[in-house]
Amino acid sequence: MLTVTYNLYLNKSDGSIFYPDYITNLVAKQTNSLLNSIGYDATILPHPNEPSLKIIINDKFVARVIEGCNAVSIIILFLSFIAAFYSNFKTTIIYCLAGSAIIYVFNLFRIVILSVGLYHYPWRRELLHEVIFPMLIYGIVFLLWMVWVNRFSKANKANV
C-alpha cells in the first residue's frame, strides 16, 4: 500500500515545479546546505539529461541526487517490517515516526559524506557508492528493526 501510494506521488510529481520531485528536491537542498555549513562551496543544479540534481563542490561535479537517494523506499521498507511486528498502536506510531526521522537524517549525512568522499577520492566511487554507503543505510535500518523486535513488538512479548 505504501509503495503504491509513493508511486502515485511520483507520477503526480512529474512536471511539478520541484525537480525531479518534492522530496528528492528537498533532500538535495538540505544536502547542499549541510555541505556549505561544513565549509564546502557547494551548489545544486538540475541535471539536463535526467530527472536528478547535480551536486557540485568547488565547481567540480561530484554526484547526482536521484529519486532513489531520498530514502523514501528505505523508509517504506522499514515501516513495512514494523507493521508486520505490530505492538500497541501508540508505541508503533511513535516508533514509526522516530525511526523514519532517524533514517531520513542519517541518509542526509550519508549523502553529504559520500559527496565529500567523491570530491576527494573520485577513484573510490564504486567502493563508496556501491558498498560502504548502502551497507551503512541498510545497517541502520537493520539495527532499528532489531531494537523493535527485541524491545517493543508483540512477537518478543509472546516469547517472554
Give the chain's domain count: 1
Q: Please, what is the average pLDDT of the chain?
A: 90
- Report pLDDT digits (tens) over 36-79: 999 999 999 998 888 889 999 999 999 999 988 999 999 999 99
Q: Find, among 72, 71, 144, the residue nearest to 114 by Cα.
A: 71
The answer to whether residue 19 scores a pLDDT higher than 90 is no
Cα-atom radius of gyration of the chain, to the nearest Å? 18
Tell me which residue range forms the domain holding 130. Answer: 2-159
- Report pLDDT digits (tens) over 73-82: 999 999 999 9
H or E element: which one contains 65? strand 60-65
What pLDDT, on a 0 to 100 scale, did the predictor assign at position 15? 65
The model's pTM: 0.89
Cα→Cα distances 85→80, 155, 157, Å: 9, 6, 11
Cell of 2: 505504501
40: left (phi over 0), alpha (psi -120 to 50) or beta: beta
